[in-house]
Structure 1
Amino acid sequence: MKMVSFVALCVAVAVVLFSGEIGTTEAVTCNPTQLSPCIQAFTSSAAPSTACCSKLKELQPCLCGYIKNPSLKQYVNNPNAKRVASTCKVPYPKC
């Protein structure tokens, strides 16, 4: 019986310790209009701005969804978008 109480105590301590780490991640809201600082770089050979790179990094978890969206695909699945991602040091997703 003492062993069961000890194991339960250890599990409780582990839950308390790790629950803080789990709660620190923020959800990303996938809104393609947030990539508006990148439009010129996506549609021409212009260099991406700092704002573009920042948003691209922030929205990285959304990129596959954008690539699969027929109305957005032309903007995010082209050589310029791949160049922008590379310049911003954002790995281009393999969806």
Structure 2
Amino acid sequence: MAKAVAMLVALSLAVVVATSAGGASADCNIAALASCKAAVIQGAKPTAACCSNLRAQEACLCEYQKNPNYGKHLPNARKVVTSCGMAIPNC
């Protein structure tokens, strides 16, 4: 459970800082999660673009969780992941 919580924390911050440059690795593009910002921050329903981008970044979510700044939006981040039909990764 702690690992799932940490992943959601990472997703939260990833969305919050999605407009900034950089990513967790060459294959990860945190800016691609900008389409999930309203869903994570405001609790809005995730858009199709959000879910598509989230699926494309799924392999990066465990890596993003390592950043301790992502915790603020944890409840909505969990909802976004599950609303997109994805399982919470076991990191």
Same fold (TM over 0.5): yes
Shift of 1:74: 2.7
Q: Which amino acid aligns with 2:27?
A: T
Shift of 1:92: 1.2
Identical counterparts, % of pairs: 39
2:74 counterpart letter in structure 1: N
Which fold has the larger relative contact order, with Cα–Cα distance below 8 Å and residues 6 or more apart in sequence? Answer: 2
Unpaired stretches in structure 1, ≥5 consecutive residues? 1-27
TM-score, L = length of structure 1:
0.62
Between the two proteins, the alignment pairs up a number of residues equal to: 66
Structure 2: which 5+ residue stretches go unaligned? 1-25
- Structure 1 stretches of 4+ moved >3 Å: none
Return the TM-score normalized by structure 2: 0.65
Q: CA deviation at 1:94?
A: 2.2
Query: 2:85 maps to which residue?
Result: 89
User: 2 CA distance for matches of 1:84 and 1:39?
Assistant: 10
Secondary structure in structure 2 of the residue aligned to 1:80: helix
Q: Deviations over 1:23-80 (max 9, x none)?
A: xxxxx82121110000110111100000000001111000001111224x236x7110
C-alpha RMSD of matched pairs (Å): 1.8
Q: How do 1:34-49 and structure 2 match up within 5 A?
A: 34-49=32-47
